[in-house]
Structure 1
Amino acid sequence: MLWQAVGLFALALLCVVDGDRKPPRYRIALETPPHERWNQVIDDHLDAIPGVIEETKLFVPTFLQPFVFWLTEKMIRFFPPDLAAEMKGISLRSGLKLGEIIGLNILYDITGFDRRHILGCTSIVAQDDKGVIWHGRNLDYAMGTLLRNITIIVDFTRNNSVVFTTTTFASYVGVLTGQRPGAFSLSLNARYSGAYIDNILMELFTLFRLPISFAVRKTLEGIESYDAAVAYLSSMHMIAPCYLAVGGVKPGEGAIITRNRWASADVWQIKSEKGRWFLLETNYDHWKPTSDKRRKVGKDAMRALGSSKLNAKTLFGVMSVWPVMNNETIFTTVMSAGHPEVLDANTVVRTISGSGEEM
């Protein structure tokens, strides 16, 4: 155990590897007309976005693409008006078809049943010995190089105050990773449960009004406390299953919500068990055994670290241990809603040249 701890702390000092870089940061004022909000982001990434769209199309059989992207364009009337207008604005600014922009934004809800379309991820919510909550997040996805080129940080503001911050992708109006300063942090991991027909039935039932990434954004934009966020995300209907990691600002405020389509299957909280100080989620139900090496290595690294040495830098070190970080890791973010400045200092786009081990 001692050599593990020494190795971890050495890694924490050298955790930004050659080629890792900080993503560009933007401010988007929510008072700005929605169709104009992403103009600067799109202008700065105009060369990279079309490649991501073309890769997205590979998830849809070629013969179905004309119908699917026609259908996704028609779906826009069901979406929240602000987000629909943002996607229209992105389409106009980029010159790309609206159906293609929408397809990118709802890709998880379309493919969330299928483990071959990997949105991997590791999320850790942990409490140090002073009661401070820290939230580490690796986003893993197969479209590595393309997504790394459009990874950004966005502060959404109202009256010049930050409402929420997200580490996200240019042209993606939903949120998979974010924090609301002084309230809570949030990250989404994929969960594979059920069949394609289950997604279709939920799409029909919900009329596709709130895809998962839109629901996460709505939570960050409109909900003001950890308890309210956990309650909302545990009970709303979702098109596809997922895991939601939530970190608050008070001792004990850390949760992993395991979601079915209708409601939560489980809400696992730091405060629910005496002596528990961290929760770790990859892409498997935490109460079931798995051969996932990310889970084992991540847990071993956290135990070697201990709550007394937990901080933003050492948690970043844990997120950088192979294979918690792996060849499909797009970015690493460490957040703390009680210390919102931590996100900027501890977010990097990863350039991976790993061992090639399987997760």
Structure 2
Amino acid sequence: MNVVKEIWVILSLVVLGSVLISAQPGTRLPKSYIVDLDLPPEQRWQKVVLDYKDMVSDVHKILITYIPEEILPYVELIATDLDNYIAQPYAGEMRGIASVMNISLGDVVMANLIYDVSAFCTSIVSQDINGQIWHSRNLDYSFTDILKNITVAIDFQHGGQTVYSIITYAGYVGVLSGQRHNAFTITVDERDQGALIWNLIIGILDSNTIPVSFLVRDTLSLDTNFTSAIDRLSYTTTAADVYFIVGGVKPGEGAVISKGRFAPDDTWMLSAKDGRWFLVETNYDHWLPPPPSDNRRDPAISAMKSLGQKNITVENLFNVMSTPKVLNSRTTYTVIMSAVKPLVMKCWIRE
């Protein structure tokens, strides 16, 4: 392909993507940022936090009201001796956020911990008729309207090159939705197993564990293929149980890991030849029926079956994620990704 033709193809894709995004009703786009990994951790989030300073401060105040009073001394202990409990670069980044916002480090730590255990989500990994892997997700939270206003898209760069991209909330240093270009995609769905916030605090006090969202960011940063990502996510001891939904770049590279703190309880893989061309995960073990009070799984399965493997596109997957119950009053954003084609990654804040 000559240079002129190559430029024309790139511009066409950009224009097509812009038309597709602007055509979606009831949505708006997140603001995009670059986090420079070559900067000291304390400086990386300054631009993001300054743009949302007042809103992030309000969100943190709301989030910490969900922390049981008896846990506060433990959180303050972690904040007082942060480097002994939270690994770098996360300790430094949270310290920098607290400094820019002029709030206590304990508030930043608490807010970041709450994000790890309070998300209700729907994630779908699928394989189209050509073998391309797609990854769709809705992220649902309480205090939805406020979080929509601090939803951002971030490219993490090293040496001026994007290593991985995420959709997140300003002031949150972990990752719940991310893509390592040309390697894999990951989303996190909460797995409700016991007193989650207690489990998380106890886990962090144990130096052998890592918060779920920090593990996802480590994986995006360090691993370069689907297999190594699955291995790290499966066998790193986490502070809480979790569902990891992972998509790769080759046919069959799609998985839902139902993880206990120490190892997987189950790893559910795509297998198009066996009829499993898509996997739907909400917040319940896939081998058990979802509760009638929160059944997002069956509407998502029905929508994917109606769509069909031959009709997977960004727009059609967006429509699946817009199915009633899958899309609900708590949905903050929808993201569609395909690691083999990084520019496909699109996010819509739901209005």
Q: TM-score, normalised by structure 1?
A: 0.86
Q: Give the deviation of 1:69 after TM superposition.
A: 4.4
Match status 1:72 vs 2:78: yes
Q: Would the aligned equivalents of 1:15 and 1:316 in 2 still touch at CA under 8 Å?
A: no
Q: Would the aligned equivalents of 1:123 and 1:187 in 2 still touch at CA under 8 Å?
A: yes
2:161 aligns to what?
Answer: 161
- Summarize the alignment of residues 164-183 of structure 1 with structure 2, pairs less than 5 Å apart: 164-183=164-183
Q: Percent identity?
A: 38
**Rounded Cα–Cα distance in structure 2 between residues aligned with 1:242 and 1:215:** 11
- Number of residues paired by the alignment? 328
Match status 1:283 vs 2:289: no
Match status 1:202 vs 2:210: no
Q: Give the deviation of 1:119 after TM superposition.
A: 1.3
SS where residue 341 of structure 1 aligns? helix
Q: Give the deviation of 1:224 after TM superposition.
A: 0.5
**Rounded Cα–Cα distance in structure 2 between residues aligned with 1:271 and 1:120:** 26
Residue number among 50, 54, 59 corresponding to 2:61 in the alignment = 54
- Summarize the alignment of residues 270-309 of structure 1 with structure 2, pairs less than 5 Å apart: 270-271=270-271, 274-290=274-290, 291=292, 292-309=294-311
Q: 1:272–1:339: structure 2 CA closer, same or farther, 3 Å change rule?
A: closer
Q: Would the aligned equivalents of 1:206 and 1:239 in 2 still touch at CA under 8 Å?
A: no
**Rounded Cα–Cα distance in structure 2 between residues aligned with 1:171 and 1:97:** 13
2:236 aligns to what?
Answer: 236
**Rounded Cα–Cα distance in structure 2 between residues aligned with 1:192 and 1:75:** 29
2:49 aligns to what?
Answer: 42
1:257 aligns to what?
Answer: 257
Deviations along 1:320-354, whole A, 9 cap, x unmatched? Answer: 111101000010000010111111xx311111xxx
SS where residue 153 of structure 1 aligns? strand
Q: In structure 1, what residue type is equivalent to 2:24?
A: V
Q: In structure 1, what residue type is equivalent to 2:133?
A: I
Q: Give the deviation of 1:149 after TM superposition.
A: 1.1
**Rounded Cα–Cα distance in structure 2 between residues aligned with 1:223 and 1:320:** 32
Q: 1:198–1:43: structure 2 CA closer, same or farther, 3 Å change rule?
A: closer
SS where residue 17 of structure 1 aligns? coil
Q: 1:107–1:257: structure 2 CA closer, same or farther, 3 Å change rule?
A: same
Q: TM-score, normalised by structure 2?
A: 0.88
2:126 aligns to what?
Answer: 126
Match status 1:312 vs 2:324: no
1:332 aligns to what?
Answer: 334
Q: 1:75–1:296: structure 2 CA closer, same or farther, 3 Å change rule?
A: farther
Q: Would the aligned equivalents of 1:15 and 1:317 in 2 still touch at CA under 8 Å?
A: no
Q: Give the deviation of 1:153 after TM superposition.
A: 0.3
SS where residue 258 of structure 1 aligns? strand
Q: Would the aligned equivalents of 1:179 and 1:186 in 2 still touch at CA under 8 Å?
A: yes
Q: Give the deviation of 1:311 after TM superposition.
A: 1.5
Q: Give the deviation of 1:72 after TM superposition.
A: 3.3
Q: 1:119–1:287: structure 2 CA closer, same or farther, 3 Å change rule?
A: same
Residue number among 9, 24, 30 corresponding to 1:16 in the alignment = 24
Q: Would the aligned equivalents of 1:72 and 1:103 in 2 still touch at CA under 8 Å?
A: no
2:94 aligns to what?
Answer: 87
